[in-house]
């Protein structure tokens, strides 16, 4: 089926009631109705009034909750909100059943335009990184800075561990996988996801694991869960095949916003080797490499990613009141390399200054 066909699930207004996603202390959830979509928005009250807005966009199979650790660490420098993309988290499927990267980007743009939030500090992980790249290229007026954690940008040689995720894009595969894994418990599914997405699943606390299991149980009750996964995976594959001005690498070259790129050395879904190409593609980029991190560095090493973002603010002249130049420590989680575009790759474990 085409990703633009109507979804084979009930309309959003007749979907069964399912428990909402988890909310961390200090967070709030609200529902926003926009043309063709309804979005759930997670937010934290900023530490003080007048802070610049930020928007966080999650990856395939994720939700706004993926950004909770980083949002808490940055509440003193940005006024942060994280959205559940259509069909994920607490957001129902889009009316038109379109889960393409362009459709997700359109949802982000509609949200920012509707509430006059732009320009924002835009964050994206995985699928959300591809979506955020497209937003920044198409609407530079909406993006103040861009932070991409393992962005899903096209790779010619996809890692073997990423193939099963890509296979979800094929018609019938999601239904087949559902049948084959019907007996799997939520705990088994969560362990599999963490083994795929984390560089070291042992970093997950018992409380974090229990929360992930509860969220998995909630998702499996949603009648559109696998449909949203399959169609969004298909949207990524379709975006990988686009050429010309619509190609993601071409759009990366058009991004004007200062960009922070974060790549994990143990990422099984986005090749670590893509870090160098990304640093060359984005014209004003900084690169943070975390050799021990996996696909979700903002969840594994939130302190390090937060420090790198603060350095980005300092480097781009967006220091907050009371912050002294050079007062932010360099990232030190595990072995990290932090460098500006055009810098030498350097040895893992080195920390280099940012250059514009």
Tens digit of pLDDT for each residue in 89-141? 999 999 999 999 999 999 999 999 999 988 999 999 999 999 999 999 999 99
Confidence of residue 346 (pLDDT cuts 50, 70, 90): very low
Structure confidence by residue, pLDDT tens digits, 112-126: 999 998 899 999 999
Q: Which of 124-128, 193-197, 344-348 has the lowest mean pLDDT?
A: 344-348
Contact (CB, 8 A) for 294 and 266: yes
CA nearest to 32, candidates 64, 73, 66: 64
Assess whether pLDDT exceeds 60 at residue 12: no
How much of the chain, in percent, has pLDDT values that exceed 90? 53
Q: Considering the chain, what is the average pLDDT of its residues?
A: 81
Assess whether pLDDT exceeds 50 at residue 149: yes
Describe the strand order of the beta sheet including 28-34 as a list of residue ranges. Answer: 28-34, 37-43, 79-84, 53-57, 120-125, 143-149, 259-264, 285-290, 337-340
Contact (CB, 8 A) for 285 and 167: no
User: For position 246, what pLDDT does the model report?
Assistant: 82
Task: Note the pTM of the prediction, 2 decimals.
Answer: 0.82
Assess whether pLDDT exceeds 80 at residue 179: no
Neighbours of 298 (CB within 10 A): 26
User: For position 221, what pLDDT does the model report?
Assistant: 87
- 3 state SS for the chain: CCCCCCCCCCCHHHCCCCCCCCCCCCCEEEEEEECCEEEEEEECCCCCCCCCEEEEECCCCCCHHHHHHHHHHCCCCCEEEEEECCCCCCCCCCCCCCCCHHHHHHHHHHHHHHHCCCCEEEEEECHHHHHHHHHHHHCHHHEEEEEEECCCCCCCCCCHHHHHHHHCCCCCHHHHHHHHCCCCCHHHHHHHHHHHHCCCHHHCCHHHHHHHHHHHHHHHCCCCHHHHHHHHHHHHHHHHHCCHHHCHHHHHHHCCCCEEEEEECCCCCCCCCHHHHHHHHCCCEEEEEECCCCCCHHHHCHHHHHHHHHHHHHHCCCCCCCCCCCCCCCCCCCCCEEEECCCCCCCCCCCCCCCC
Structure confidence by residue, pLDDT tens digits, 216-271: 888 888 888 888 988 888 888 888 777 777 899 999 999 999 999 999 999 989 98
Confidence of residue 172 (pLDDT cuts 50, 70, 90): low
């Amino acid at each position: 089926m085409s990703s633009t066909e109507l979804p084979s699930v009930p309309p959003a207004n007749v979907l069964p009631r399912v428990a909402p996603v988890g909310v961390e202390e200090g967070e709030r959830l609200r529902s926003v109705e926009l043309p063709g979509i309804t979005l759930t928005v997670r937010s934290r009250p900023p530490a003080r009034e007048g802070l610049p807005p930020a928007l966080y966009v999650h990856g395939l199979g994720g939700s706004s909750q993926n950004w909770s650790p980083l949002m808490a660490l940055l509440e003193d420098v940005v006024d942060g909100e994280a959205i559940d993309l259509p069909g994920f988290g607490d957001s129902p499927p889009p009316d038109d059943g379109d889960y393409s990267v362009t459709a997700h980007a359109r949802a982000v743009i509609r949200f920012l335009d509707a509430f006059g939030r732009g320009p924002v500090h835009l964050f994206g992980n995985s699928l959300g990184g591809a979506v955020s790249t497209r937003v920044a290229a198409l609407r530079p007026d909406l993006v103040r800075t861009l932070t991409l954690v393992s962005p899903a940008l096209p790779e010619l040689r996809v890692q073997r561990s990423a193939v099963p995720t890509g296979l979800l894009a094929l018609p019938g595969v999601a239904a087949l996988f559902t049948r084959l894994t019907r007996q799997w418990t939520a705990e088994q599914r969560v362990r599999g996801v963490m083994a795929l997405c984390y560089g070291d699943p042992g970093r997950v606390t018992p409380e974090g694991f229990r929360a992930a299991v509860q969220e998995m149980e909630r998702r499996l009750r949603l009648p559109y869960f696998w449909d949203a996964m399959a169609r969004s995976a298909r949207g990524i594959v379709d975006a990988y095949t686009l050429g010309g001005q619509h190609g993601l690498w071409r759009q990366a070259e058009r991004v004007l916003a200062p960009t922070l790129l974060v790549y994990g050395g143990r990422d099984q879904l986005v090749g670590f080797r893509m870090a160098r190409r990304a640093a060359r593609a984005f014209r004003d980029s900084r690169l943070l490499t975390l050799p021990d991190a996996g696909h979700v560095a903002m969840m594994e090493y939130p302190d390090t990613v937060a420090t790198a973002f603060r350095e980005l603010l300092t480097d781009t002249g967006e220091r907050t009141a009371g912050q002294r130049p050079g007062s932010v420590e360099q990232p030190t989680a595990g072995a990290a390399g932090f460098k500006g575009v055009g810098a030498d790759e350097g040895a893992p474990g080195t920390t280099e200054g940012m250059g514009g």
